[in-house]
Structure 1
């Protein structure tokens, strides 16, 4: 397969992952469904594999995310624009998700096929940093701009920020960072596995 064919397959898989898991979100669109929402991981993974297609791949996945939200909200018999999740803060998801996309791009820039400690360090730092920024933009805008919180405070915002970013076993929340890291970790395992298979096949052909 050529690079464009590979990218097209990856784009389709990332889009499928985003749509399939995002559709399981409940009414509020803020809690994890039966299958944890992989949207954040999808944008990070997309930035890694589709960096050269960013001009159209990111907008396409962003449009898909909005479409899925529309389907979920309309499926509940509600007006999309009247739903509290689609306040003016909703559009902060664009820069929030791009932070994840950029984190994936940054990881790709420093990627090494040897999977050395430096590459792993860049991956961890990029993932944690981009998730933190995404949470800052998405949760922060919702907390301060929407009408859901009647009397916002810095202390209230910070607690809400960390409650959703980090695991909270007491309330049954896995946290966006852990869920995103799990999906990205699974993608990394698949990446290494496919790479090893490709190397074995190439070695077999060379000996044939």
Structure 2
């Protein structure tokens, strides 16, 4: 993924994916899981050359969607249950996902069993860190938790970790399948070009 046109396509798809799925976080109208964490991970993999502005753009989009969904319900953004001082920890939380994708991209030379292992590792670790920051900041900084305790935090963390990992892995898997398919198309076209050159 080297050309600006390709990056623009990926960024556009990530914007559409977030816009289509993130709204359910507050409105519960969308049956599809939130793809935000996966979008940042995929962005880290494909958009490393655009990180300085693509990451802030996706972050601003996430906040904008949250604001729109909350205020469209007639609720003040700052008084919503999910918005607390911990809300701003979503920035480093999403950055953890982005860095997971960036780490996976480094040294990536095409689909292989090694690359698949790195993909699984990076998704699990990035999601664990992201969840730690997002869930932990809400649990410890929100007034919604009356009597926070380590045991209560741990139970909350473990209760929600697998559902978040599952939904993130689902969207990343779709992107990985598309990546492998595109690599196969490129290989096939190069093979045809070589065959034509030999004739």
1:7-37 Cα distance to aligned partner (Å, 9 max, x none): 111111111111111123344xxx7940111
Worse overlay, 91-100 or 194-203: 194-203
Counterpart for residue 75 of structure 1: 72
Q: Distance in 2 between matches of 1:85 and 1:24?
A: 13
Counterpart for residue 20 of structure 1: 20
Measure how far apart 1:158 and its partner are. Answer: 0.3
Measure how far apart 1:206 and its partner are. Answer: 3.6
Which ranges in structure 2 are unaligned for 5 or more consecutive residues? none
Q: Distance in 2 between matches of 1:135 and 1:33?
A: 21
Closer/same/farther in 2, CA of residues 2 and 94 from structure 1, 3 Å limit: closer
Q: Does 1:138 align with 2:134?
A: yes
1:146-184 Cα distance to aligned partner (Å, 9 max, x none): 101010011100000011102xxxxxxxx0001111110
1:117-196 → structure 2 map (5 Å cutoff): 117-166=113-162, 175-196=163-184
Q: Does 1 or 2 have the higher relative contact order (CA < 8 Å, sep 6+)?
A: 2
Closer/same/farther in 2, CA of residues 195 and 32 from structure 1, 3 Å limit: farther
Query: Which SS does the other structure have where 1:84 is aligned?
Result: coil
Worse overlay, 43-52 or 80-89: 80-89
Worse overlay, 138-147 or 80-89: 80-89
Worse overlay, 137-146 or 69-78: 69-78
Count of matched residue positions in the alignment of Structure 1 and Structure 2: 196
Measure how far apart 1:2 and its partner are. Answer: 6.3
Closer/same/farther in 2, CA of residues 2 and 91 from structure 1, 3 Å limit: closer
Q: Does 1:52 align with 2:40?
A: no
Contact 2:26/2:66 (8 A) holds in 1 = no
Contact 1:99/1:133 (8 A) holds in 2 = yes
TM-score (norm 2): 0.93
Query: Which SS does the other structure have where 1:25 is aligned?
Result: helix
2:108 to 97, 106, 111: 111
1:104-157 Cα distance to aligned partner (Å, 9 max, x none): 0000003121x2222222111111001000000000000000101010011100
1:49-99 Cα distance to aligned partner (Å, 9 max, x none): 001111110000000000010111011111112212221100000000000
1:91 to 70, 88, 92: 88
